[in-house]
Structure 1
């Protein structure tokens, strides 16, 4: 076979590999941004994620674990370390005395706002080469990807 065109099976595989490569490379870039912002505030990426979750909600410990994809003991340790730094506080849920909710302290909110501003600035720089229309399409595509699918 002397043709310069790829075999049919190669053509079918390339778009999937290109998609995987592009999404993985993008996730690396975003992770680097989160890591840089975390380092500026002496926070790990997991701590940044936790504070981001707490930006607009006060979940139970169990719900927080679910948001972060962590087990109960890992979440407890993460919250305990953040509590020692006055970033978060725990409180009994007034509706369910068995449940403990987690919320940001004033200091934690200030750190979250500073990190969010830096992350937004860096992400804006990352997508700056895109036209407004391309950015809108990117947001739309990402939103479609992130919509939970039925397991059926």
Structure 2
């Protein structure tokens, strides 16, 4: 029997891998009663406290969309806004302590699921995949990581 992955070219392989990872991510978000974009918001805020403008760039959303997303997250007690001490027109967004615990648990669950999916991948192939992925991401100046 032919292995279907033998028929994949680079583009198809990356697209299918992306769909798989995004599916895992979306499923995990749904388990926490969130949309994927809400989960991405919390993921971005895990490591930084960006301004609303920076947050919009990270998520690829315009000003009105990011405002609505942050408003909904704030009503759920997941994020808080803080006016900058240097410029009162600038607002920073950060996770609440409760959201920080949720994000930590979700990140651990995500890592566990990805580990399960890659259990049969050798350590050398894992390292090669990480190196190749880093090169791809570094080649895109718009990537905000």
TM-score w.r.t. structure 2 length?
0.89
CA distance in 1, matches of 2:104, 2:17: 24
TM-score w.r.t. structure 1 length?
0.85
Which residue is equivalent to 2:93? 102
Bigger drift between 135-144 and 106-115 goes to 106-115
Q: Deviations over 1:31-53 (max 9, x none)?
A: 11111111110011001111000
CA distance in 1, matches of 2:13, 2:121: 15
Residue aligned with 1:101, SS: strand
CA distance in 1, matches of 2:98, 2:70: 15
Q: Which runs of 4+ in 1 moved over 2 A?
A: 148-151
Q: Which has the larger radius of gyration?
A: 1
Which residue is equivalent to 1:46? 37
The match for 2:74 among 83, 87, 91 is 83
1:59 maps onto 2:42 in alignment: no
Deviation at 1:96, TM superposition (A): 2.0
CA distance in 1, matches of 2:116, 2:106: 15
Number of residue equivalences: 136
CA distance in 2, matches of 1:44, 1:146: 24
- Structure 2 unmatched ranges of 5 or more: 1-6
